Structure 1
Amino acid sequence: MYQLFYYPRNASWAPHMLLEEIDTVFELILVDRKSEQQKSPEYLKLNPTGRIPTLADNDQIITESAAICLHLCEKHPESNLLPEIGDPDRARFFQWLFYLTTTLQPELMLYFYPDRHTTLPDTANAIASAQEARITDMFAFVDQSLAGKNFLVGDHISVCDFFLFMLSHWASELTRPPLAFEHLGRYLRTLAQRPAIRRACETEGTPLTAYQ
């Protein structure tokens, strides 16, 4: 049985939604960020980076959200959440997955924690403001890419969609949030009706009223 070490709406959220979509047996183990449990000696033995999430697959330990999701896809190919080798959509899948996890997500982290990226006083607000403009442009790019489409890659859901839903929700407080975009907003509202996403959100205490 899988064990997912998580914290609500953390980077563990995408793997959590994916586990629900796969419809497999798993256990959620809360790592309390409020008390910095991820820095505890017990957790560091499991994940030396002190980050969330971590997946235990029997004796195998996998860290990093995207790596966990790819591992689960390969363990459950019947779920069709990762295009097969030879499928033209496979390259687009990796293109989007890397864009979301190595471009958009780091930019969001800089927006949320600007004070970690400066040693100068009174500059954090300026950094956050500049980041919001950059992130809004990125969501505009995603919005245009979703014109006439139900999913980011191909004609069915993939891991990329769970990541985009997670990152979009994180950005809900932007001046122009993802839901305000025409195509991205439609896409997110449709995804929010998916049973796997609804189950994960209910478990994590995340209301979906904004997506109605």
Structure 2
Amino acid sequence: MYQLYYYPLNASMAPHFILEALQVDFELTLVDRNSKAQKSPSYLALNPAGRIPTLIDDGFAIFESAAICIHLAESHPTSNLMPPIGDKNRALFFQWLMYLTNTLQAELMIYCYPEKYTTEINSVSGILAAQDTRITEILTLLDHELESKSFLVGETISVCDYFLFMLAVWADELKKPPLSFKNLSQYLRQLAQHKAIITVCQKEGLNLADYH
């Protein structure tokens, strides 16, 4: 059985989506960020980065959200959550997943925690404004990519889609949130009808009313 160390609406959300989509047995273990449990000696023994999530697979600990998602998809190839070796879409899958985690997620982290990226408290508002603009540019690119498409890669839902849905949730307080984009909005509303997303959002306390 898999064990996912998680915190609601955190970076553990994408692996949580994947576990639900796979319909495999797994156990959720809450890591209380409010008490900084992710920095505890017991958690650091599993994940020396001290961040959430961590997946335990048969006693083997894996961290980094995108890496966990890839591992789960490759461990269950019949799920079709990532293109197989030899499929031309496999390169695009890695392209977009890397773009999501290395670009969109990285920029969102600065937006969500601006105080961690400066030693000058007066510069926080400027960081927020700059990040709002930068993330809007990224969402615009994704909106164009999703024109006339139901999924980011290929013709079926993949890890990329679950990962983007998670990041879109994080971006809902932007001046121009994901649901304000034509193609991105339609795409997210379609994803919100998938059982795995509905189930995880119920467990993690996210109301999907805006996606209906």
3-state SS, counterpart of residue 166 of structure 2: helix
Superposed CA deviations along residues 72-105 of structure 1, whole A, max 9, x for unmatched, are 0111001001101110100100000000000110
Query: Following the alignment from structure 1 to structure 2, what is the Cα–Cα distance between the partners of residues 107 and 51?
Result: 17
Corresponding residue number in structure 2 for 1:168: 168
Query: Following the alignment from structure 1 to structure 2, what is the Cα–Cα distance between the partners of residues 32 and 209?
Result: 27
Residues 49-88 of structure 1 correspond to what in structure 2 (within 5 A)? 49-88=49-88
Q: Which amino acid aligns with 1:86?
A: G
Q: Which amino acid aligns with 1:163?
A: F
TM-score, with normalisation over the residues of structure 2?
0.98
Shift of residue 121 of structure 1?
3.7
Shift of residue 49 of structure 1?
1.0
Query: Following the alignment from structure 1 to structure 2, what is the Cα–Cα distance between the partners of residues 27 and 121?
Result: 40
3-state SS, counterpart of residue 174 of structure 2: coil
Corresponding residue number in structure 2 for 1:119: 119
Structure 1 stretches of at least 4 aligned residues deviating more than 2 Å after TM superposition:
none
Superposed CA deviations along residues 26-76 of structure 1, whole A, max 9, x for unmatched, are 000000101111111111111111100000001211110011011101110
- 1:156 counterpart = 2:156: yes
Equivalent pair of 2:191/2:197 in contact (CA under 8 Å):
yes
Superposed CA deviations along residues 153-190 of structure 1, whole A, max 9, x for unmatched, are 01001100011000011000111100000000000001
**Unpaired runs of 5+ in structure 2?**
none
3-state SS, counterpart of residue 119 of structure 1: coil
Q: Which amino acid aligns with 1:175?
A: K
Superposed CA deviations along residues 100-151 of structure 1, whole A, max 9, x for unmatched, are 0001101011111111111224001101101100100110100010000000
Q: Which amino acid aligns with 1:200?
A: V
Equivalent pair of 2:115/2:121 in contact (CA under 8 Å):
no
Corresponding residue number in structure 1 for 2:207: 207
3-state SS, counterpart of residue 50 of structure 1: coil
Query: Following the alignment from structure 2 to structure 1, what is the Cα–Cα distance between the partners of residues 191 and 167?
Result: 13
- 1:29 counterpart = 2:62: no
Q: Which amino acid aligns with 1:32?
A: D
Query: Following the alignment from structure 1 to structure 2, what is the Cα–Cα distance between the partners of residues 206 and 46?
Result: 28
- 1:134 counterpart = 2:134: yes
Q: How many residues are paired up? A: 212
Q: Which amino acid aligns with 1:26?
A: F
Query: Following the alignment from structure 2 to structure 1, what is the Cα–Cα distance between the partners of residues 132 and 121?
Result: 20
3-state SS, counterpart of residue 151 of structure 1: coil
Q: Which amino acid aligns with 2:209?
A: T
3-state SS, counterpart of residue 123 of structure 1: helix
Query: Following the alignment from structure 2 to structure 1, what is the Cα–Cα distance between the partners of residues 156 and 36?
Result: 38
Query: Following the alignment from structure 2 to structure 1, what is the Cα–Cα distance between the partners of residues 169 and 96?
Result: 17
TM-score, with normalisation over the residues of structure 1?
0.98
- CA separation of 1:121/1:206 partners in 2, compared to 1, >3 Å: closer, same or farther? closer
**Unpaired runs of 5+ in structure 1?**
none
Query: Following the alignment from structure 1 to structure 2, what is the Cα–Cα distance between the partners of residues 113 and 28?
Result: 25
3-state SS, counterpart of residue 45 of structure 2: helix
